[in-house]
Structure 1
Amino acid sequence: MFLCLLLSTPVWAQPSVADRWLGIMLDTAALDVDKFGARPTILSRQMAIVTTCMYDAWAVYDSKARPTQDEPHRNGTRAEQETAIAWAAHEALRDQFPTYQRSLPPDSGAAAELGRRVAHRVLDARHHDGANQLGDEVGGESTPYSDYTMYRPVNPNDRVLDPNCWQALPFADGKGGVRYPQFLTPHWYRVRPFALQSSRQFRPEPPPKYGSAELKADVDECLRLNANLSVEEKALVELMRDGPKSTGQSGHWLHFARMVSRRDHNNLEQDVKLYFVVANVCMDAFIAAWDSKRVYDSSRPFTLIRYYYKGQKVRGWLGPGLGVGEIDGSQWIPYSPATFVTPPFPGYVSGHSCVSGAAAEALKLFTGSDRFEAEEERQAGELTEPGFDCPTIQQVDGQAGGQESCFVRLHLPTFSQAAEMAGRSRVLGGYHIQSDNRAGLKLGREVADYSWPIYRAYFQGR
């Protein structure tokens, strides 16, 4: 993956200490995904905690800003401020990421001690925020982040009792077998948000139900789009898809925030504030999205299309290197690896859409402009059907496609358009219907718009 901003000036070569530690956090998050699998809700909270610790360490030394946890202001040098930020980030990473292995040279100085202290105040405030990080919630399984709300799916793995409800889907286990991942963190609606009053504050109206013309139209649109993916659309699907080796939507948008930092030549203060806002807005968006996912428990296209079209011929993707052809509706699959068919949780609202809508709105509010001007270069199909050339992956009914190269340059002109592209990619890929996407984008933007004055109050010391 290669991401760049279209700049008319040289790239800034002096990243701040906050930016450097954000990079360490994102690298650590990728290792976390390798070890534990894709857990976007958990990642969002981990990232919000680390960036909040950095913000608090910075704010203590600022004459105006207010930290999120009580700590008296103090005077200090730039070096002391940077030391405090580094130690705050380090302590937060040690607490949040089991894969984090870095160490810092011993430092008993006042700045290092302050960084450790403010980090532990943030961590102490978060250890019992509803996420069950410590695995000690009553009703849980005594393992970190385990469900303690007794969620049980309506539909068993092997049949559909109610097409409106979520169903665990079959994933290839990479060893010739099949596994059925269950609802990831179904208790996440109980996590305490940073800025929202509650997870249900902006809960959307219910999704369309089976038997309605709206749901049928959504399902048919998803089926049609997925069977006609262009090279550019496959590249977009893979760019935005969350799965193995991903840092989740929070990480994706923090990558974008880093690009904005370089574009705008941000200083330390701007970086600390920017990453604090984006990470926490993403966390709150996930919490709000999980409220809808838990309340409405809605099914995914995998379940819906197979239910609607079982015993009927449809056009769909046949698998890696096989292109598109005619299949029985009961065999339809999204454009995704067999080991990660669709994220394991209900569809409404789309988490990608909600978090992208929130992060894009936050970036727009923070920078004062919707301008992004980023460019992404990809080789379409490299994540879903690696090893096949472009004519092979674009074949239709056994006839090779006419496009020789699958190299694609995707342009992201504005934050808002990047969010809309992220949401659209989920429908194209076959992971969501349009109702999931529309409601998710709206919810995310509401989260960011409501939250922004709260962040500004912190910055202004109110």
Structure 2
Amino acid sequence: MSWARCPSRDHRGHHDDEGFQDVLRGRGTRGRSGREPHALPHPQVGHPRASEGGAPCLPPPSVPPTAHRRRRAMKPEFERPSNDVDLGAIALNRAVSRRDFLTAAAAGGAALLLSGVPASAVVASRASAAPRDSVVLLWNKAFLDGVRESKLGPPMVARALAIAHTCIYDAWAAYDHRAVGTRLSGSLRRPPDERKLSNRVQAISFAAYRAAADLFPRSTATIFDPLMASLGFDGADISRDTSTPPGIGNVAAKAVLEDRHADGSNQLGDALGGSPGVAYSDYTGYAPKNDPMDVRVPFDPTSVRDPNSWQPLRYVDGSGNVVTPSFVGAQWPRVATFAVAPGSLRSASGPARFGTGGYITQARDLLDLSADLTDEQKVIAEYWADGPHSELPPGHWNLFAQFVSRRDHHGAQSHGIERDVKLLFALTNAIADAGCCAWDNKRTFDSVRPITAIRTLFHGQVVRAWAGPYQGTKMIDGATWFPYQPRSFPTPPFPEYSSGHSNFSAAGAEVLRRFTGSDRFGASTVLRAGSSRIEPGLVPSSDLTLSWATFSDAANQAGISRRYGGIHFEQGDLDARATGRMAARDVWRKAESLWEGG
């Protein structure tokens, strides 16, 4: 199946069918610093079932993300779907977290409860109960709880969610009349009289359970065993009899998991050169060029041997331990992808280099953003942070997929299961491949983070910037500059270029847009006054609503949030938005070909 080619717009609003190739040719994708750029060009869009040549050509979104201040807090009122399994996470009438969703009843409107700030910060208007969720959403929620209990980094989370939903897809495909699996093709296909809802639910659950226990083992007893029991299934059933639903699920998952155990990620900690028994340990011999920066003491310029390169940070984490994290995912360029050719989305030029005007300009632009941060921008930075103990940036888009499933009334019957299987299969693999693209660039260019670049350039000079919690904007020594981040997690432990957030989010938005046939999102979240983790009690000064008219709006806001937070430079954000959509395009084509019969 082919898709209609749309004349696209670049970030400046100009039509440019070649905009997606700019980053690969070394031109990058630049906009005006500190301003939300237009949506990046969309390569091809349409509905999953659009006919040949009939895919709609959608223009880039014109409605920017908005923030509306409200003076009076609203109390959350919500109900659990009748088949929603309580995984021990939430009690009714308590403060809600991002894992809880509400769908509005009137006129197709929706309010989405998601937050990167404390659970007490999130409120929503009165909404009706969500329709009955499919078994796919139940397992997706369980996977996200597994992520929250794990200590995995972003690319590991993206990979894990993709594997889990691929296991679900392969088990479901055995009961479809056309779809083929990723590993065993159509060899597991069951006859028409067995293609019943109950068989699909059981096969999916066994595949999901095997994947979850393999990928998030510490959560097996606390999350996955209780879910299986609540569904009436016995996780101890390891049957390989493919004439039964448990056998289908077990065999489908086994084929996927065995393949991915050797995909280059070192999930099992058995790769030669890695730390024996340490899951996902680096086995490539990466070593940073710079000595660690201890953020607890005055900046030492001699620790920066190469101002182009990433510098590890030493700080006190949220548990009170002094830590110096190494490069998370240094081996990721060697990880197998689903559809994107390895290295094909690597930048031809990379980030600005020390000694050039671009290097200085990107640092000054970020200082200007830091100095003029509004409450809205601070809230955006915190909402999208997705740091430790959250579902991380890849999982954030799984939450958006759950919202779309409920908004569009997928439901728990066979048709709803089919739609949820396909949506999350394509979404998670697109995000995982986009992550491989981001980490390929991170390893290739080993690029400096803003905290190192700004302190190196401006130590001993007075600059205007955010001066720290409750300090507002002041004139400070550039050597003391700190991003708008918690002291316990000042900057993620991997190089800057290109942005993982922007890659993940652009890929997620592109798949959601293709799957639904529209860029329309219509979601929002309310952050309570004073709910900031960085400046609690002060930010925001009154309740503030973030809303997204389109998926692209949400993805663009996720990207710029890292510039507000002092984590990324503009080029690292904008280039990644382009490559994230390119990765999603490739994954979408392959996923669609599989569920259409290969």
Tell me, in whole angstroms, the C-alpha distance in 2 between the residues paired with 1:381 and 1:315: 25
In the alignment, what sits opposite 1:166? 310
Map 1:357-372; keep pairs closer than 5 Å.
Answer: 357-372=506-521
In the alignment, what sits opposite 1:133? 267
Question: 2:317 matched to 1:203?
Answer: no
1:238 and 1:380 in contact (8 A); partners too: no
Tell me, in whole angstroms, the C-alpha distance in 1 between the residues paired with 2:207 and 2:165: 9
Question: 2:423 matched to 1:274?
Answer: yes
* Shift in alpha-carbon separation, 1:433–1:121, aligned structure 2, 3 A: same
Tell me, in whole angstroms, the C-alpha distance in 2 between the residues paired with 1:161 and 1:219: 18
The code of the aligned residue for 1:372 comes to F
Judge which range, 72-81 or 45-54, deviates more: 72-81
How far did residue 385 of structure 1 move?
2.4
Tell me, in whole angstroms, the C-alpha distance in 2 between the residues paired with 1:380 and 1:281: 36
2:164 and 2:208 in contact (8 A); partners too: yes
Tell me, in whole angstroms, the C-alpha distance in 2 between the residues paired with 1:381 and 1:317: 18
How far did residue 264 of structure 1 move?
0.9
Map 1:405-444; keep pairs closer than 5 Å.
Answer: 405=542, 407-444=543-580
Tell me, in whole angstroms, the C-alpha distance in 2 between the residues paired with 1:347 and 1:44: 18
Map 1:55-70; keep pairs closer than 5 Å.
Answer: 55-70=169-184
In the alignment, what sits opposite 1:144? 279
How far did residue 20 of structure 1 move?
0.9
TM-score (norm 2): 0.72
The code of the aligned residue for 1:62 comes to D
Q: Percent identity?
A: 40
* Shift in alpha-carbon separation, 1:5–1:432, aligned structure 2, 3 A: farther
Question: 2:464 matched to 1:348?
Answer: no
User: Residue 28 of structure 1: which of 130, 138, 146 is its match?
Assistant: 146
Report SS of the residue matched to 1:374: strand
Report SS of the residue matched to 1:325: strand
User: Residue 165 of structure 2: which of 12, 36, 51 is its match?
Assistant: 51
1:83 and 1:112 in contact (8 A); partners too: yes
In the alignment, what sits opposite 2:298? none
Structure holding more helix per residue:
1
The code of the aligned residue for 1:450 comes to D
1:234 and 1:381 in contact (8 A); partners too: no
Measured against aligned partners, the alpha-carbon deviations of 1:282-333 in whole angstroms (never above 9, x if no partner) come to 1111111110000000001100110111001122333333333222100110
How far did residue 4 of structure 1 move?
5.2
The code of the aligned residue for 2:287 comes to R
Judge which range, 263-272 or 105-114, deviates more: 105-114
Tell me, in whole angstroms, the C-alpha distance in 2 between the residues paired with 1:67 and 1:404: 52
Task: Count how many residue pairs are aligned between Structure 1 and Structure 2.
Answer: 444
RMSD between aligned alpha carbons? 1.8
Tell me, in whole angstroms, the C-alpha distance in 1 between the residues paired with 2:529 and 2:457: 30
Measured against aligned partners, the alpha-carbon deviations of 1:97-116 in whole angstroms (never above 9, x if no partner) come to 02222323435681112111
* Shift in alpha-carbon separation, 1:343–1:452, aligned structure 2, 3 A: same
The code of the aligned residue for 2:161 comes to M
Report SS of the residue matched to 1:14: coil
Measured against aligned partners, the alpha-carbon deviations of 1:66-85 in whole angstroms (never above 9, x if no partner) come to 11121321032210111000
How far did residue 224 of structure 1 move?
0.9
* Shift in alpha-carbon separation, 1:180–1:120, aligned structure 2, 3 A: same
In the alignment, what sits opposite 2:325? 181
| Unaligned runs of at least 5 residues, structure 2 | 1-96, 109-127, 294-302, 411-415
* Shift in alpha-carbon separation, 1:23–1:255, aligned structure 2, 3 A: same
The code of the aligned residue for 1:13 comes to P
Report SS of the residue matched to 2:217: coil
User: Residue 313 of structure 1: which of 439, 451, 462 is its match?
Assistant: 462
User: Residue 241 of structure 1: which of 340, 360, 385 is its match?
Assistant: 385
In the alignment, what sits opposite 1:389? 537
In the alignment, what sits opposite 2:36? none
1:11 and 1:262 in contact (8 A); partners too: no
The code of the aligned residue for 1:111 comes to P
Question: 2:398 matched to 1:254?
Answer: yes
The code of the aligned residue for 2:169 comes to Y
Report SS of the residue matched to 2:313: coil
In the alignment, what sits opposite 1:91? 210
In the alignment, what sits opposite 2:363? 219
In the alignment, what sits opposite 1:73? 189
2:131 and 2:409 in contact (8 A); partners too: no
Measured against aligned partners, the alpha-carbon deviations of 1:377-420 in whole angstroms (never above 9, x if no partner) come to 1236635325x422xx5xxxxxxxxx842x21001111111111
In the alignment, what sits opposite 1:397? none
1:5 and 1:373 in contact (8 A); partners too: no
Tell me, in whole angstroms, the C-alpha distance in 2 between the residues paired with 1:30 and 1:131: 20
How far did residue 178 of structure 1 move?
3.7
1:130 and 1:191 in contact (8 A); partners too: yes
* Shift in alpha-carbon separation, 1:85–1:228, aligned structure 2, 3 A: same
User: Residue 42 of structure 1: which of 145, 156, 169 is its match?
Assistant: 156
Tell me, in whole angstroms, the C-alpha distance in 2 between the residues paired with 1:215 and 1:381: 36
Report SS of the residue matched to 1:326: strand
Tell me, in whole angstroms, the C-alpha distance in 2 between the residues paired with 1:326 and 1:317: 9
Question: Deviating runs (4+, > 6 A) in structure 1?
Answer: none
Question: 2:258 matched to 1:124?
Answer: yes
Tell me, in whole angstroms, the C-alpha distance in 2 between the residues paired with 1:381 and 1:98: 37
1:231 and 1:380 in contact (8 A); partners too: no
1:4 and 1:374 in contact (8 A); partners too: no
Measured against aligned partners, the alpha-carbon deviations of 1:234-290 in whole angstroms (never above 9, x if no partner) come to 111111113122211210011011111111112110000000111111111111111
Report SS of the residue matched to 1:8: helix
| Unaligned runs of at least 5 residues, structure 1 | 394-402
Report SS of the residue matched to 2:145: helix
* Shift in alpha-carbon separation, 1:259–1:174, aligned structure 2, 3 A: closer
Tell me, in whole angstroms, the C-alpha distance in 1 between the residues paired with 2:530 and 2:448: 26
In the alignment, what sits opposite 1:296? 445
* Shift in alpha-carbon separation, 1:125–1:307, aligned structure 2, 3 A: same
Question: 2:434 matched to 1:285?
Answer: yes
Judge which range, 285-294 or 173-182, deviates more: 173-182
1:57 and 1:118 in contact (8 A); partners too: yes
Report SS of the residue matched to 2:496: coil
In the alignment, what sits opposite 2:587? 451
Tell me, in whole angstroms, the C-alpha distance in 1 between the residues paired with 2:446 and 2:178: 45
1:234 and 1:380 in contact (8 A); partners too: no
Report SS of the residue matched to 1:170: strand
Report SS of the residue matched to 2:545: strand
* Shift in alpha-carbon separation, 1:237–1:84, aligned structure 2, 3 A: same
User: Residue 473 of structure 2: which of 318, 324, 327 is its match?
Assistant: 324
1:238 and 1:381 in contact (8 A); partners too: no
TM-score (norm 1): 0.92
The code of the aligned residue for 2:216 comes to F
How far did residue 175 of structure 1 move?
6.7
Report SS of the residue matched to 1:411: strand
In the alignment, what sits opposite 1:231? 375
